[in-house]
Amino acid sequence: MTQSLHLMNSRELDSRIRNKSGRATRLAESDLTNDALTEELYLAGFSRFPSDQEKQYATELMTRSESRQSGIQDLMWAMINSPEFSIQD
């Protein structure tokens, strides 16, 4: 429970995700397709490829967002706060 609350409210994590030289910025400025970008994030975060449903969700999120970068940041937050990312006892 403590880990979940820390991940959801961490200013340090927020500043790292929003860092102008961070991964979200580099990916947003890249020529990668949304599918390739999603695969990179899932491999980095979960050590697996995203399912078709996860790719579809990520693409919709990035398309609907104010900017590609904010969509990537939102996806990173969603992944970090997912049960799959949490440390299991």
The pLDDT, as a whole number, for residue 34 is: 93
**CA triplet 1, 15, 31: central angle to 5 degrees?**
110
Q: Whole-angstrom Cα distance, residue 66 to residue 80?
A: 21
Sorted by where each begins, the domain ranges of the chain are: 2-80
Successive 10-residue mean pLDDT values, the chain, 89 residues: 51 73 91 95 94 94 92 89 68
pTM for the model stands at: 0.78
Q: Whole-angstrom Cα distance, residue 88 to residue 53?
A: 24
